[in-house]
Amino acid sequence: MSSHDHDHSHDHNHSELSPIELRVRALETLLTEKGYVDPPALDELIETYETKIGPKNGARVVARAWSDPAYRDRLMSDATAAIAEFGFTGRQGEHMVAVENTPDTHNMVVCTLCSCYPWTVLGLPPVWYKSAPYRSRAVRDPSGVLTEFGVRLPEKTGIRVWDSTAEVRYLVIPMRPEGTEGWSEDQLAELVTRDSMIGTGLALSPQALEAAR
């Protein structure tokens, strides 16, 4: 497993697309011109799978880990098997490793060579995750990346960047927010965001969740 330790910039420049992404864009343009694709509907569908349906799987895994110490231990020792207990299996989720945030260490995931991503628990990868600027800057300046995402960590907290590969993919287990004692798994899952499971965000506080409703 390849990892990089840093003491803590993120560029949302989406102009650098891979050859496959360029071909997809060209196909989308052609289908739109012929009237086969409605761009707003397509955007809504992608947004749904990118931020709602897929990440809900990972949120269930995190919520279980927060509330069930035995499950948390299984997840940390064999994430692939523990995640499969929910029925979340398949391509892009065969070799999973869970990394847990603590007061001393904040974990963040990147794929420097391409865009390997755990689809089974996080859904579609966001565009920024696949961009060259993120893939390079997450390794060189992780604290700058987090700052641009609005994440500010205590000075004592170190940042560890995990580099996904075709052989292994990572799921960040964010720290459980304070004030959630006695919450059910369903309630806890609402606090877990996609970005918090990549490490570019934190789990929502109960107050932030209430404000977002």
Q: Is residue 131 annotated as part of the catalytic site, yes or no?
A: no
Catalytic residue chosen out of the listed positions 67, 115, 143, 196: 115
Q: How many CB atoms lie within 10 A of CB 141?
A: 16
Single out the residue of 8, 176, 24, 205 nearest to residue 101, CA to CA: 176
Catalytic residue chosen out of the listed positions 111, 131, 164, 196: 111
Instruction: Determine the Cα–Cα distance for residues 38 and 106; give it in Å rounded to an integer.
Output: 41
Q: Is residue 115 annotated as part of the catalytic site, yes or no?
A: yes
Residue 147 token pair = 């700052």
Instruction: Determine the Cα–Cα distance for residues 166 and 25; give it in Å rounded to an integer.
Output: 24
Q: Is residue 77 annotated as part of the catalytic site, yes or no?
A: no
Catalytic residue chosen out of the listed positions 18, 77, 114, 136: 114
Catalytic residue chosen out of the listed positions 67, 116, 143, 196: 116
Q: Is residue 184 annotated as part of the catalytic site, yes or no?
A: no
In DSSP terms, which residues pair with 108 in a beta bridge?
A: 161
Instruction: Determine the Cα–Cα distance for residues 159 and 4; give it in Å rounded to an integer.
Output: 9
- Pairing mode, strands 105-110 and 96-100: unpaired
Residues involved in catalysis:
111, 114-116
